[in-house]
Amino acid sequence: MYKSTVEHRGVLVLRGPVSHKVSDTDPHKVGEPLAPAKPLDGGKEAQTTAEVVNEITRLFVEYSKGLEANKRRSERNEPLINAILIRGGGYMPAIEPLAQRYRVRAAAIAGVALIRGVAKSVGMDVYAAEGLGGTKFDKFEAAVRLAIDLMKRYDLVFLHVKGTDSASHDGDFKGKVSVVERLDEALRPYAEILEENYVVVTSDHATPVAVMEHTGEPVPIMLYGPDVVRDDVTRFSELTCWRGALGRIRGIDVMPTLASYLGVSEKFGE
């Protein structure tokens, strides 16, 4: 089964004796030919999956020649759709829900299918908002209003913004700035409400505009709340936040730290 999601993205679901241990067909370089999927272990399931992925790829290349969309694109002198890139094989693991691990009721607001799926897999209630589609052209007013409303019913509300990453992949510096400015404008009317709650701002990875790809540098993080001790960092950036009181922490440290401030952490000792 294949389901289209946002922009060029989609999800391919294979069922039966298959394996996620296969290589990508995406060459990760413009102008390079598709890479054949190969099994990454010696199991029969991985071999079968690689063969299925390669056959699906071959069939789509043939099928794409008759696409109605390509007729329209040809008339506009636009590049034709001629392949699909299958990458990031995965499976649904058994994950302890947030409600059990941290004793919180959590909600997520996201336009990207991947993020919605991850949130759902850890037990978060997932919401959509008008204007939030996971692109650099998103509008955030409805999403922020929804987040503020959900804060009345949930212990934790996660709002995901994809546009900065999308703009970075395009090398679009002004577009990236515009995403931040639009989000800032949408948040501004709720500044007083946010000041009464704990707020975490961070990202899952760096995507420099100059590189146009994900990189491994540490990302900045801000933790704000009523009883959070302030440090002397006054600007939110990679070069300033590394000097902050939180120091350099791992992504898996964020939720336990927040749970401690929320007063839901399990206590040990007397």
Same domain for 70 and 105, yes or no, is no
Same domain for 109 and 41, yes or no, is no
Q: What pLDDT does residue 72 have?
A: 92
50 is in which domain, residue-wise? 2-75
Same domain for 226 and 111, yes or no, is yes
Structure confidence at residue 270 as a pLDDT band (50, 70, 90): low
Give burial (CB, 10 Å; 0-12/13-18/19+) of 3: exposed
Q: For residue 31, is it within any domain?
A: yes
Q: Which two tokens stand for residue 50?
A: 């690689």
Q: For residue 145, is it within any domain?
A: yes
pLDDT digits 0-9 by tens, 206-216: 999 999 999 99
Cβ-proximal residues to 150 (8 Å cutoff; 6+ apart), any chain? 107, 109, 127, 157
Same domain for 102 and 57, yes or no, is no
Question: What proportion of the chain, given as a percentage, has pLDDT over 90?
Answer: 77
Cβ-proximal residues to 19 (8 Å cutoff; 6+ apart), any chain? 39, 41, 43, 45, 46, 48, 49, 89
Question: Residue 232's Cα: distance from chain center in Å?
Answer: 30
- The one-letter code for the residue type at 83 is A
Cβ-proximal residues to 270 (8 Å cutoff; 6+ apart), any chain? none
Q: For residue 127, is it within any domain?
A: yes
pLDDT (average), residues 166-188: 96
Arithmetic mean of pLDDT over the chain:
92
pLDDT digits 0-9 by tens, 43-89: 999 999 999 999 999 999 898 888 899 999 999 999 998 989 999 88
Q: Show which of 60, 75, 90 is a domain's final residue.
A: 75
Q: Which two tokens stand for residue 252?
A: 């898996």
pLDDT digits 0-9 by tens, 184-203: 999 999 999 999 999 999 99
Strand ranges inside the chain, DSSP E: 2-4, 10-12, 106-109, 125-127, 156-159, 199-201, 222-224
Same domain for 53 and 168, yes or no, is no
Same domain for 242 and 108, yes or no, is yes
Computed on alpha carbons and rounded to an integer, the radius of gyration of the chain in Å comes to 22
Q: Report angle CA 128, 107, 148 to the nearest 5 degrees.
A: 75
What are the Cα distances from residue 41, in Å, to 44, 77, 94, 236, 260?
9, 43, 22, 43, 41
Structure confidence at residue 91 as a pLDDT band (50, 70, 90): confident
Q: For residue 81, is it within any domain?
A: no
Same domain for 170 and 215, yes or no, is yes
Same domain for 58 and 120, yes or no, is no
- Residue scoring higher pLDDT (187 or 267): 187
Same domain for 66 and 106, yes or no, is no
Contact in structure between 127 and 119 (CB atoms under 8 Å): no
Q: Which two tokens stand for residue 75?
A: 């008339």
Q: What pLDDT does residue 268 have?
A: 73
Structure confidence at residue 6 as a pLDDT band (50, 70, 90): confident
- Whether pLDDT at 181 is above 80: yes
Q: What pLDDT does residue 146 have?
A: 98
DSSP state of 31: T
Instruction: Note the pTM of the prediction, 2 decimals.
Output: 0.78
Same domain for 111 and 213, yes or no, is yes
Q: Which two tokens stand for residue 205?
A: 């990875």
Write the CATH number for 239: 3.40.720.10
Number of domains in the chain: 2
Q: How far apart are CA 158 and CA 126, in angstroms?
A: 9
Q: For residue 93, is it within any domain?
A: no
pLDDT (average), residues 117-121: 93
Q: For residue 243, is it within any domain?
A: yes
Same domain for 9 and 139, yes or no, is no
